[in-house]
A and B are shown apart, each in its own frame.
Chain A
Amino acid sequence: MRHDRGLLAAILIQPILYLVLFGLAITNEVNNAAWVVYDQSRTELSRQLITELTSLTALQEPQFVFSEQEVIDFLRRRDGLAGVIIPWNFADRLGRGQAAPIQILLNGAKTSSALRLGNYVSQAATAFSLTSLPTRDREEQQFTTPRVSIEKRYWYNPGLQDRFGLLSTMPANMLTQICLMIAAVSLVAERERGTFEQLLATPLSLAEIMVGKMIPYVGVGLLAMSMMMIGSYFFYGIAVKGSLLLLLLVALIFMFATMAFGIFFSAWAQNVQQAISLGFFIMFPSVIITGILVPTDNYPLVIDALSRCLPARYFAHALRAITLKGAGFAEVGTDLLFLSGFFVFSLIAAVRVTKPKLG
């Protein structure tokens, strides 16, 4: 391990990369998004509405366009998210106390981000009519407006920032990659060079040798994970709410389990290239369907069952629970149990698969 300084550097760049990308770049907040307005009405009231839409939602100032075609062009050619059309009779209808429709055009090719922007604008429009318009008849309004409201509390992430969820589970992504790819692949490399056989001449058992091989990677993994956590704390104020010791325990078991799993799989690979491609084959589902990027709640049954067979799912859950929610042993106990079981099984399987090849 010490021989390959370049590799070590490449591994340790990753936490920095993730801290920047997930901490600063990736967001679902629509404050930076561009949008357009086609104001057919051009009245005091419509201008007031536009100002309110912008200020209430903390959106950017809209660009003004002058035909419906331009709005559609903005969505179609320039791939904008949303456009608002205020019809010519907007002020008239409002003046007569009638409902004045405004059209919100959304770019469906952008699904969730366009939808979010659209929701912001329509909420702001509703708020505008409640606060800024003179009510003709108080009685009447009381009768019809839905007098129900929801008071919400955002637990664990009061500012509703996307980086909380993403950064807290990112170690699962990083450690999966380090353990599955690098550790398992380097074992194949040793087998290729024949240095692995030399170790077998020593009086150590195969399982002992394997665990011994894993230890340096566990060190690198822990280093990368601590970089990630320290960075999240100092730059973004994401502190670990639960016990650090519990977190360390889960991380250790996860790393050993994943490495044993990787070694078991890499037994099928004849050379490093094959081991790498096999590693990717397992890594993709481990990252995609384990709740690191996409929450597991809406998975269809088959995908859900599949993801329960992957150790990353339990680790991602434990990371989120301990870091953000301050969960204790009671909540992550099952995760620990699964991960330990996974480790034992994979190690036995790895030893079994490796043994006959050596004889």
Chain B
Amino acid sequence: MNSLQNKLNRLRTLLWREFVELRRDRFTLTILVLIPVLQITLLAYAITTDFDHLPLCVLDRAHTRESRQLLDHIAATGYFTVVPLQDLSETSPLFGREQCRAALLIPADLGELIANRKEVRLGLLLDASDTTLATSTEGFLTAITQAFYAQTRLERTPLTDRNLQPEERGGVAPVRRVLFNPTLSGTAYTLPGLLGMICLFLTVLITALTLVRERDAGTLEQLLVTPVTSTEVVLGKILPFGVVAMGAVVFCVLVGWLIFGVRPAGSVFLLFAITPIFLLIGLSQGLLISSLAHSAMDALERSVLTMVPQMMLSDFLFPLALMALPFRIIGEAIPLTHYLRITRGIYLKGQNFSELQSEIAILCLFLVLFVTGAARTIKKQA
């Protein structure tokens, strides 16, 4: 009992020391906390899949009532702004300057084709350097032109014949139902992912940088000759940062809720209860990096090199489900992947503890691995 008391006392002293240390470098702390705020604002606004008045070049070879109606139709959707072209050769420089991403070519005989119920073929040139933009442009334009055609044909059908038009025709009619995020809002999807990214970034970077500085100053060696165990050093190091990072997470959840109107469908308390596990994983990862690094620059490069693959293969920005098998296996071995499943599960699907318990168990396993790894490396160096 007494030894436990001793241990707790020692830990308390260590914690106090770290908080004092943290307060001393207020500049770094401020910047590091400002980064997630900046990140969340920029990403939530920038990563929107919503189309809004994208410039669309149009070469109207028909110049008839029909072609003008079609252009009005396109403009009325609000997805595109029509930029008229005089000649096809203008397209290439416009694409080069990225003043528009797609060019629609209307054939000269559009009016006759519609009147004679012949097939209308519109040309579409797409700047495919961004594939998502190209495919959605194509999808939107296909839908708009088909609706336009159907409406124009209907208008030209004499009123008496309209009822004779068959209402339905045999065929497979796909009906789409979107679960969990019915409006397919980009912000609602990005925000829970950002939470994970911010946790990882804050924890890895703060610890990696601070510990290197302590080693440079020689204060780490002083600590290691005292009777504290290396696990205690590890805990003492990472807990204060954990508190700061947790504060940032709570802040981001609030910003998402109040400013972007994205709030978790599930329990926000469950989210806050699981987050410390992931924070501790990130912190011990930072410790590992810093104990292997020779200088602050080295620590920086190592953190970047470890964070880039985690960011890419964790389903944060790029869908893991679509990747080839070897990358999906690597993705499963990244703690962030599992944490993102939890944040998205809680935010979008409203999942509860029992549904998420396997992911939580995996996170705990990672935690044990990383903490023992960090403690071992530090002990070896002492």
Contact = CB atoms under 8 A, between A and B. Distances in A.
Interface stretch (A245-253, A279-287, A349-357): A279-287
A271 B54 CA distance: 45
Highest count of chain A CB atoms <10 Å: which of B35, B168, B173? B173
B158 interface: no
B227 interface: no
A324 interface: yes
Given A146-B146, A273-B210, A298-B52, A157 B181 contact: no
A202 interface: no
Contact of A273 (B25, B52, B148): B25
Interface residues of A, number: 130
A99 B323 contact: no
Nearest to A149: B121
Contacts of B321: 32-34, 79-81, 110, 113
Contact of A285 (B38, B93, B138, B175): B38
Contacts, number: 352
B28 A274 contact: yes
Nearest to B171: A129
Contact of A161 (B131, B171, B324): B131
Nearest to A147: B119
Contacts of A273: 25, 28, 209-210, 213, 296
B177 A154 contact: no
Interface string B34-78: 110011001101111111101000000000000000000000000
B108 interface: no
A129 B355 CA distance: 39
Contacts of B304: 14, 177
B20 to A, nearest CB: 17
B51 to A, nearest CB: 7
Contact of B97 (A31, A118, A274, A331): A331
B130 interface: yes
Interface in B224-267: none
A186 interface: yes
A98 B166 CA distance: 11
A182 interface: yes
Contact of B131 (A49, A102, A160): A160
A101 B118 contact: no
Contact of A284 (B42, B139, B301): B42
B124 A115 contact: no
Given A27-B322, A273-B213, A303-B45, A140 B169 contact: yes
Interface in A225-284: 269-274, 276-278, 280-281, 284
A110 to B, nearest CB: 7
B205 A280 contact: yes
A113 B319 contact: yes
28 contacts: A4-B295, A7-B297, A21-B313, A24-B327, A28-B318, A34-B321, A93-B170, A98-B168, A99-B172, A108-B178, A109-B345, A110-B319, A129-B170, A143-B117, A148-B149, A150-B142, A151-B121, A156-B129, A157-B128, A165-B129, A165-B131, A273-B210, A277-B27, A284-B38, A288-B39, A293-B317, A295-B133, A331-B97
Interface of A: 4, 6-7, 10-11, 13-14, 17-18, 21-22, 24-34, 49, 72, 75-77, 79-81, 93-94, 96-116, 118-119, 121-122, 125-126, 128-130, 133, 136, 140-158, 160-162, 164-165, 168, 177, 181-182, 185-186, 189, 269-274, 276-278, 280-281, 284-285, 288-289, 293-300, 302-303, 317, 320-321, 324-325, 327, 330-332, 334
